Amino acid sequence: MFYPESKIQEVLKCQRCNKTFQEFDTPRMLPCFKTICNKCVLQIDNILNENNEFACVMCSEQHTKPEEGFAINELVYSLIETHPEDISRGREVKMFKTSLNNLEELYTKLNTDKLAKIEKIQEYCNELRQTVEVAAEKRIQEINENKKSLIEQISEYEEDSVELYSLNEELDKQISE
């Protein structure tokens, strides 16, 4: 796993005095697991009581100094030996950054393609709406023309029927007389 350079630089500092560890430093762990530099360890040695106890400057708890001394923080020690450039600018990190850039470019391209495709879908749907509108208007016009023609035919039929009925009535009258 790779971490941002700022995180690595943070780990490479004494948690008490905040000074960056140097190649000759041996980072030591307190019983509360905080990592401090050689100078800060010497300061703790100066405040030990007769039972080898001290009030921790980091967590304020009472600790006893281990007989074998404070343990070396091997992880921080190995990071000190490695140049920070190797950690943050190593081949793997460069490959990772290149891959990340490629992914960002691909994302941008896909997002652009996505927007173009959305626009294309919207254009197509607008064309379909217009086609439906035109077709519907045409059908409505045809229906209105058919309606008008049918009403005219009904009106002609009605006139003809009334006229024929009237003629038949008249003929019936004449025949009955």
Average pLDDT of the chain, as a whole number: 84
From the centroid of its chain, how far is CA 10? 29
Amino acid letter for position 132:
V
Q: Which CATH class is domain 5-88?
A: alpha beta
23 or 72, higher pLDDT: 72
Quote the pLDDT of residue 2.
Answer: 53
How crowded is the C-beta side of 39, counted as CA atoms within 13 Å?
11
SS3 label, residue 22: coil
Distance of alpha carbon 57 from alpha carbon 67, whole angstroms:
19
Distance of alpha carbon 168 from alpha carbon 162, whole angstroms:
10
| pLDDT tier at 1, thresholds 50, 70, 90 | very low
The reported pTM is 0.44
Quote the pLDDT of residue 84.
Answer: 53
| pLDDT tier at 3, thresholds 50, 70, 90 | low
Give the residue extent of every domain in the chain.
5-88
Q: What is the pLDDT of residues 37-93, one digit of tens each?
A: 888 888 988 888 999 999 988 898 999 999 898 999 988 888 877 755 554 455 666
